[in-house]
Amino acid sequence: MNVITKLLYLLLILSLLTAALSVSGCTELDERTEEGESHIILLNNIIDAKWQWSESVETEPSGQLFVPEPEKYTITFSADGTYLIRADCNSGSGSYVLEEDQMTLSPGPMTLVYCGSESLDYKYIAFLGNVTSISIENDQLVLYVGESGDKMIFIRG
């Protein structure tokens, strides 16, 4: 083999390896950590699990909301890009787009029953409508809301 043929052969192998690594990365996303490190987690870690909203942390105004009955506020992601939610006495579905750690939730059909003055259903739905990114921290699903650092924290149901 001459030098040019060897270089083309090497270039072909490198291209195939790059393509294989790119395709395998499509099912993973970055996890945020407090140290700012980035860890890879499998998309399979968030789909087909019923996540219960346990708390929210807001930056402006600064505060923390603990959800008294997390089992009434759930979200389940499916591999086909759809999700199901329970918002107290209401239920609904929609679609999501996930690119690396960036997430967008698009609402779909939902029931609109009045759940009572103590319900957090409207707050829950409003937060979900503003999700911008996602991570797994301490085996909890974290959905980041807006650009101010607000976050919704979910536990596995």
Domains of the chain (ranges; CATH) run 39-156 (2.40.128.270)
Is pLDDT at 127 greater than 70 in this prediction?
A: yes
Task: Pick the closest to residue 131 from 94, 103, 91, 93 (CA basis).
Answer: 103
Question: Which residues face 55 on adjacent strands?
Answer: 66, 153
**Model pTM?**
0.73
- The chain-wide mean pLDDT, for the chain, equals 81
Is pLDDT at 6 greater than 90 in this prediction?
A: no
pLDDT digits (tens, 9 = 90+) for 106-125: 999 999 999 999 999 999 99
Is pLDDT at 45 greater than 90 in this prediction?
A: no
Q: Which residue has the higher pLDDT, 42 or 131?
A: 131
pLDDT bin (cut points 50, 70, 90) of residue 33 is very low
Q: Which residue has the higher pLDDT, 24 or 149?
A: 149
Distance CA 122, CA 30 (A): 29
